[in-house]
Structure 1
């Protein structure tokens, strides 16, 4: 299952401040494991980073759990929505999961509070 969410616009101006991308895993018992983070200069480069991390996550999942991530990787309409949200200073969050772990991948305007 893939879940995307958006948050309200940040006070940071995305076009000047850049973007911050993160990936984390959340396991039973509320344990959070940081997987990766990356600064990006534009919504397009933030989305490029998200695509790469989604590919990494889906490569590790069993096929039934990887299917939503594979779909997201080819969903151009959703990618355009993500770029638009980021360009307007909003946070884009994508969540993938398997039986025990939730993977949260996000991009936001640098300086914005999650």
Structure 2
């Protein structure tokens, strides 16, 4: 079975919008994921972190756990859309 993939978003704002939309759809389909997803959606500093990661070409994965299931939503910009002039902030850099 082949997994359908959407065309990669072209800006970090569109990529974040796509991720937020998919997270909301996940909650609509599986209400047990509401608490962690809504907390993530309301976390403005995390949303900024996502935008910065995407702007410098790093992927971002939202992992949502609920009971015996785990959903991973990953987004990454196309290489031509990456903005190398937007460094990650030191306090949010990944190891």
Give me the TM-score of the superposition, normalised by structure 2: 0.70
8 A Cα contact 1:86 1:92, kept in partner: yes
Give me the TM-score of the superposition, normalised by structure 1: 0.60
- The range that moved more, 34-43 or 67-76, is 34-43
The runs of at least 4 aligned residues of structure 1 exceeding 6 Å deviation read: none
- Structure 2 residue 6 is the aligned partner of structure 1 residue 37: yes
Secondary structure of the structure 2 residue equivalent to 1:105: strand
Which of structures 1 and 2 has the larger relative contact order (alpha carbons within 8 angstroms, sep 6+)?
A: 1
The separation in 1 between residues aligned to 2:51 and 2:11, in whole angstroms, is: 9
1:97, distance to aligned residue in structure 2 (A): 2.1
Residue 106 (structure 1) aligns with: 74
Matched positions, count: 79
Secondary structure of the structure 2 residue equivalent to 1:40: coil
8 A Cα contact 2:16 2:51, kept in partner: yes
User: Root-mean-square deviation (CA), in Å?
Assistant: 2.2
Secondary structure of the structure 2 residue equivalent to 1:89: coil
Structure number with the higher strand fraction is 1
Structure number with the higher helix fraction is 2
Secondary structure of the structure 1 residue equivalent to 2:17: helix
